[in-house]
Structure 1
């Protein structure tokens, strides 16, 4: 990593009789500096007038980047309209989030909050500190929807724009300066790219405070940016306004709209933004297809590198880094920490330490997904025989899990409920465990499946499905009636991922089962007449897995 100490300095050298440590402390401001200021101990940036004049002059005009409107523009306009329609008269604040410190003065790579990405179309590392605000306006005068219908909100994107080259930020700010992190887009660039009016983030406070307590309610998506939440709370306090604006409520009551009016709260905004993603639009489905395709390529790379994994003392890391490097090359990153669980580690559901050996004759469970530049992620699991061939016991367990997955696919269709997908998989798992004699004495599969039973869940404690999209566990803040209890609709994308996990010290199963963990996970798009397995190109049946691996291993 580049260090500011490599920059020429204008400080006077320390006297020969002054200790180096003392000299460094003096140069940095000495012991009187605050702890925050001492982060600059490593930096010796010139501050002379001559330096400032020279570094801020002599630059050619910036080239026109040729920014074009993103393909997402009409889709995000429709999404914003759907969200805003649920909160008439409210000002909706959706932050991208801020840079987060990884250690001392280094930051994690930025990823915007999913609600912000969904409503703006911005992905990759765009745009730290930005805030999308949907301002209430007179009905019928707001931003047009995709079909041209005008609503009652106007979107403004408050961003930190490109700084001029005669500013200190240009050369001195290691978080935002062009010299350090590259040029940011101008306000005009942001407006063109997103189709949303862009303004300087310095205007945010005044814009949020307008008419609060006088007919406008201020709501913010929680969990995205603590500083913005604090600002919203301060504005409410100054205006003497609760989350629900009393005057606005009185107006609705007087016009007979009170019964139909939504509850206006930050939590409701979070909930609504999450539920907005339950049914994907055409562009989102396209992004999901891309994420799955790149993920399948990553699995192919993993199989090709299994011999190298076997030979390495931390073979699981070989698998992890193989997939993660592919994800970074072909997408934005991985959508979540890759699980590369060999042998007994496969019985730990979220094994991400990935420091174990990979042994011939055992299975390796790989749960991984590529997040594309638009930030949509796949989530796919395959359990692979390390040497390319299943043993009889491994195949028996694997087939049971596959049968459970197929049963779940059969009911993952419009008209059924989301919870039916899990129930169908559990019927197969419980029946197979009964067949193998693993359920407690006197407990049948039918008994185990009752709410009072559930003994079969000892070997599969997780659920069978979750929604998928911008988050690997997408739409997590949706209401139960919109998620678990919801009727399945075309456009939903979710996983089907049953498993069986027999720990090495599990005395309730025969020894031959111990230390074996199997999970098969696919990404499913619900269609008008059924469903489509988006990850079907990655083999699932044991004989197909073996043939596929043989072709890749040569």
Structure 2
């Protein structure tokens, strides 16, 4: 892999001790002669037009910005995309913008590192779409080919990363005025403090922008750390809660993510025989799905769980280096993130040889019944917490029936009991969207205690996990882990299972696996 900017060839080498941070570029050199510069910046044919067009999401993004604007009149709102993150030395991870930035601009995939969306306050009702703010995107645009950036800048140079959009291109795509990121500091500082403008930042998106905002606040005499933290918390909370109810474009993208994920599960089934013949069969499953996600979407929405046998009792098992054996179950928790950055989150527990054993089927059916109980209350007017309560009633009753609970189910379900949670310590649901655990900064009264509304999308994912060394359960249950997870949209009169095309019942799964294998 190539490096970032490198020392000029023929440059003098300092005799003083070289700083640690400067040593990553020691392995190569770039010419610095005037002849090289002149030759590198000449002789290029005209660039082809990138052919940009307005994004389909642009009207929805505008409505989201308008909704956010109404909550913060008079404040300047700063929403960074974030920067590239170092994987090792001078090698970066593939870029993914902060979800709030992507949600409010419509820019997905790997766009735009180091960009910042700013909502500038204007007179009430005179802003974008009659709102209280005017949005500006500060980006690093395409540089001319007669500049050193063209061939020497590994982060932005066209020679390194390809042609970037111009400012006009960004504006056409997003419907937002675009300006050079070099103007950002002055734009953020304007009228802050005595001018009456407050500066609010989405937290956790970009440390460099956070430092810049802190410096501007200090210069303006706004040094009350507690007050500024409260203000930033309010904006961070607001952009998270803005995603609790999905618009029509988001729902379309969620369904696309789920459909693409289901196709990935079919690829897994086609490769189960290969997995069971490999010493790291779990990794065969993982790489099968991850390759599908990269080919058909942007990437995986989170690290794939491919947990065979007793590994399925480890909730967030992502090592995925174990064997996949005939007669066992494999729990696969996976989701494709599509180019718009919306992700699915689906789990199925599959019999490796295509048929459930008696005890495996018994555990699977109990989990399925718990999921169905949660589906029954997933409708407008219910509270989010009701989903979990409904599932737990079923699981507690089944565990009592099997003689595993040390107390009656009713006592276990009480706040003072909860013994049944030994075998399901996680929650039954979480909101889903651009983040696999979406809306994570929302207030408790809007999330766990919130009332379900049409347009909300979340998972329903009960499970039972009997660890191999759990002496409180009969031996035939030990080492069995089952989770069933679907992605659910609340509608006006109930719900829709977005992942219903992937069979859920034991018989349905067995038949589907046979049909996929051929």
TM-score (norm 2): 0.97
Q: Report if the CA contact (8 A) 2:3-2:154 is conserved.
A: no
Residue 484 of structure 1: aligned partner: 448
The question of whether the paired residues in 1 share the 8 Å contact of 2:3 and 2:91 is answered with no
Q: Cα offset for 1:43?
A: 1.8
**Is 2:403 aligned against 1:437?**
yes
What displacement does 1:27 show? 6.7
Q: What residue is the counterpart of 1:21 in the other structure?
A: none
Q: Which one of the candidate residues 430, 434, 437 is aligned to 1:473?
A: 437
* Counterpart position of 2:375: 409
* 1:141 equivalent in structure 2: 126
The yes-or-no answer on 1:449 pairing with 2:413 is yes
Which residue matches 2:212?
231
Q: Does 1:201 align with 2:165?
A: no
Shift of 1:177: 1.2
> Residue deviations 1:448-475, cap 9 Å, x none?
0000000000000000000000000000
Change (3 A) 1:243 1:378: farther
Change (3 A) 1:3 1:481: closer
Give the 5 Å matches for 1:111-260.
Answer: 111-144=96-129, 150-213=130-193, 214-242=195-223
Q: Are 1:4 and 1:43, in contact at CA under 8 Å, matched by a contact in 2?
A: no
Partner of 2:39: 54
TM-score by length of 1: 0.91
What's 2:365 paired with? Answer: 399
Residues of 2 paired with 1:444 and 1:4: CA distance?
64
Structure 1 gap segments, 5+ residues each: 12-25, 145-149, 247-262
Cα displacement string for residues 402-450 of structure 1 (whole angstroms, at most 9, x for unaligned residues): 000000000000011110000000000000000001001xx11111000
Q: 1:36, CA displacement in angstroms?
A: 2.5
Is contact 1:365-1:517 (8 Å) kept? yes
Distance 2:243 2:422 in 1: 33
1:384 counterpart = 2:369: no
Secondary structure of 2:339 counterpart: coil
Q: How far off its partner does 1:42 sit?
A: 1.5
Question: Retained in 2: the 8 A contact 1:287–1:372?
Answer: yes
Partner residue, 1:337: 303
Q: 2:81–2:114: 8 Å Cα contact kept in structure 1?
A: yes
Q: Which runs of 5+ in 2 are unaligned?
A: none
Pair 1:322-2:288 in alignment: yes
- Match of 1:154, SS state, is strand
Contact 1:4 1:42 (8 Å CA) reproduced: no
Q: What is the root-mean-square deviation of aligned Cα atoms in Å?
A: 1.8
Alpha-carbon distance in 2 for matches of 1:68, 1:36: 41
Inter-partner Cα distance in structure 2 for 1:10 and 1:406: 67
1:67 aligns with 2:52: yes
**Structure 1 residues 84 and 445 mapped into 2: Cα distance closer, same or farther (>3 Å)?**
same
Q: Is the counterpart of residue 110 in structure 1 residue 95 in structure 2?
A: yes
Which of 273, 287, 298 in structure 1 is aligned with 2:239? 273
Closer, same or farther: CA 463–4 of 1 in aligned 2, 3 Å: closer
SS at match of 2:210: helix
2:139/2:178 contact within 8 Å kept? yes
Is the contact between residue 93 and residue 131 of structure 1 (CA under 8 Å) also seen in structure 2?
Answer: yes
Distance 1:329 1:267 in 2: 37
Structure 1 residues 3-61: Cα deviation after superposition (integer angstroms, max 9, x where no partner) = 689x9x964xxxxxxxxxxxxxx976555432222222112211111010000111122
1:506 and 2:465 aligned: no
1:536 aligns with 2:517: no
Asked if 2 retains the 8 angstrom alpha-carbon contact of 1:68 and 1:192, the reply is: yes
Instruction: Determine which of 397, 412, 422 is the counterpart of 1:458.
Output: 422
How big is each residue's C-alpha offset from its partner over 1:308-340, in whole Å with a ceiling of 9 and x where there is no partner? 000000000000000000000000000000000
Q: 1:293 matched to which residue of 2?
A: 259
1:177-218: CA deviation from partner (whole Å, max 9, x where unpaired): 111111111100000000000000000000000001121110
Distance 1:177 1:372 in 2: 27
Contact 1:407 1:424 in 2 (8 A): yes
Q: Contact 2:3 / 2:90 at 8 angstroms: preserved in 1?
A: no
CA contact (8 A) 1:243 1:266 kept: no
